[in-house]
Structures are given as C-alpha cells and as structure tokens.
C-alpha cells in the first residue's frame, strides 16, 4: 500500500461527534441473489458540507453503493443511517421524460409530491436558473445538447432541496469540454446549497477537483482501500487542475487505485 496510514479510512469517534453525519454506512455488505459479492464491509460517512467522491475500477460496486445509500436496494449486512429530509439522485444518463419540456421535467418531482402548480412552477424556474438554463424552459430533451440535458437532470435533483445528494457518474458520458464545465457548475451549486454529496466517478481528476474527500475502492468484491482528504478551499479555480499539487494528489489516488487492484 503506497498510501500512508493516517489517510486510510477509519471513521473515528471525534469525527462523528464534530458534525452530524448525513449519511453513515457501517460494515455494509451486498451479495446479489445470483451469488455475486458486490461489496464487503464498507464503512463511510458523509456530513453536511462534505462532497465525497468514490473512485474505483469498473464493476467494483460503486453504483451498488449508491443504490444502497438511496434505498433503491437493500443491504445484505451492516447498517445505513440517513439523516436527511430529502435525498436526490442524479443518474448516469439524464433520464429525462422525452415528452416533457425542460420545465415540466424539473416540475415532475413536485408533481409527484402534490405541490400546487404555481409553487412548483416557481421552484422549477429557480432550479433551472441555478443550472444556467433560463430561456430553455420550453425546449424538449431532444432539442437540447447532452450537457444541457444533464443540467436539466441536475435542476430536477435540486428542486427537492436535498440534504443528501447522490451522483452516479453523471458526467461520464459527456465530452471532455462539457465535462470540465459541468464540474465547475456542480462545484458552484454545491457551495451555494451546502448539501452532503456522494459522487461516484471513474475519473480520478474529477474526484480530486470536486470533492473534499476521495474514497478509493478495490475491484470486486468492492471495499474501501483509501480515504484521501483534499485540502483546497472552495471555490477551486479550473486552473487548479494543472498545478503540481493537484498532480500530486491525483497521483496519490491513482496509486491507491493500483494498490487496490492487486
């Protein structure tokens, strides 16, 4: 293991006492009915104001981790504690309803909760403004670019005012330029909304740029092999990606990834 012992993941009592954790996973295991062991003994903690990234090789159970945290799937062992009035989930694909305009897609969540029309319209307009889509409210998904569709998806997740925001590789399918732009956008929104975020990605630089902690997972069965703190204050300028200190940290994460492979 090339990571020093201090940064290895160990949820200690004083961390837990300092800030109430929004998401707390302890000894979580997941075995599918097919017998596949997806996760073994995963413990992690995300507090308000934390944006925690999880990186790992494909098939290591990163997405499973997120599905467990959201309650979409049940754990096979261990406990998950969520202290959030509202949780949001951003999928790999924008997952928009093709027959609804951008505005109507964002309104969907409130529609399902029975929020009155005028109120949900106002909230959707605000959310679209937050992701920089003012003027595109009436466009349908097919009329929008990939990046814009993902912005609509972000807006839809924000409309619920989440305390816990879960992201399942949301920018993985975007082109490089759009991807970098979306990272900056997400960081700005995160600073504004101060939710607790759990961000799954396969991009080391994305994880380091966005989050204040990076968890590294090993290949299947997935477990967390490193917990690396990212020290920089937000907002982080885009140029940070080209600094030596940034390279040093991505190197450290990559090394942990390599170690986890063996």
Indicate whether 97 belongs to the interface with another protein (CB under 8 A). Answer: yes
Q: How far is the CB of 135 from another protein (least distance, A)?
A: 16
Indicate whether 177 belongs to the interface with another protein (CB under 8 A). Answer: no
- Per DSSP, the three-state class of 72 is coil
Cα–Cα distance for residue pair 127/134, rounded to 1 Å: 9
Nearest to 202 by CA among 217, 184, 189, 186: 217
Q: How far is the CB of 89 from another protein (least distance, A)?
A: 5
Indicate whether 95 belongs to the interface with another protein (CB under 8 A). Answer: yes
Site string for another protein, 100-119 (x = CB under 8 A): xx------xx-xxx------
CA torsion, points 216, 42, 91, 211, in degrees to nearest 10?
-40
Indicate whether 99 belongs to the interface with another protein (CB under 8 A). Answer: yes
Site string for another protein, 60-89 (x = CB under 8 A): ----------xxx--------------x-x
Indicate whether 91 belongs to the interface with another protein (CB under 8 A). Answer: yes
Angle, helices 146-158 vs 102-113, to 10°: value is 20
Nearest to 11 by CA among 38, 48, 46, 39: 46
Indicate whether 140 belongs to the interface with another protein (CB under 8 A). Answer: yes
Strands of 224-229's sheet, edge to edge? Answer: 87-90, 164-168, 196-201, 51-55, 213-217, 224-229
Cα–Cα distance for residue pair 166/206, rounded to 1 Å: 15
Place of tokens 């959707």: 124
Q: Tell me phi and psi for residue 64, to 5 degrees.
A: -60, -40
User: Considering only 36-44, 140-148, 178-186, 214-222, which stretch makes contact with another protein by CB under 8 A?
Assistant: 140-148
Indicate whether 125 belongs to the interface with another protein (CB under 8 A). Answer: no
Indicate whether 32 belongs to the interface with another protein (CB under 8 A). Answer: no
Q: How far is the CB of 218 from another protein (least distance, A)?
A: 26
Q: Cβ closer to another protein: 134 or 143? A: 143
Q: Which residues would be at the binding site for another protein (CB under 8 A)?
A: 70-72, 87, 89, 91-93, 95, 97-101, 108-109, 111-113, 139-140, 142-143
């Amino acid at each position: 293991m090339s990571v020093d012992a201090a940064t290895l993941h160990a949820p200690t009592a004083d961390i837990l006492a300092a800030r109430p954790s929004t998401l707390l996973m302890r000894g979580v295991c997941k075995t599918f009915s097919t017998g596949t062991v997806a996760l073994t003994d995963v413990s992690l903690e995300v507090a308000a104001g934390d944006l925690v990234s999880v990186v790992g090789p494909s098939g290591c159970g990163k997405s499973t981790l997120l599905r467990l945290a959201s309650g979409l799937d049940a754990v096979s062992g261990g406990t998950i504690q969520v202290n959030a009035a509202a949780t949001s989930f951003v999928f790999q694909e924008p997952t928009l309803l093709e027959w609804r305009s951008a505005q109507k897609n964002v309104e969907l969540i409130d529609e399902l909760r029975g929020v009155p029309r005028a109120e949900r319209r106002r909230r959707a307009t605000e959310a679209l403004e937050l992701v920089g889509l003012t003027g595109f409210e009436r466009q349908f998904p097919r009329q929008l670019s990939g990046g814009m569709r993902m912005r609509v998806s972000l807006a839809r997740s924000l409309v619920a005012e989440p305390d816990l925001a879960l992201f399942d590789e949301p920018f993985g399918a975007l082109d490089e330029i759009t991807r970098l732009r979306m990272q900056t956008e997400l960081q700005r929104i995160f600073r504004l909304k101060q939710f607790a975020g759990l961000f799954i990605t396969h991009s080391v630089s994305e994880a380091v740029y966005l989050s204040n902690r990076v968890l590294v997972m090993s290949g299947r069965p997935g477990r967390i092999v490193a917990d690396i703190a990212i020290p920089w204050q937000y907002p982080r300028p885009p140029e940070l990606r080209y600094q030596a200190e940034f390279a040093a940290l991505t190197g450290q994460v990559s090394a942990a990834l390599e170690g986890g492979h063996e």
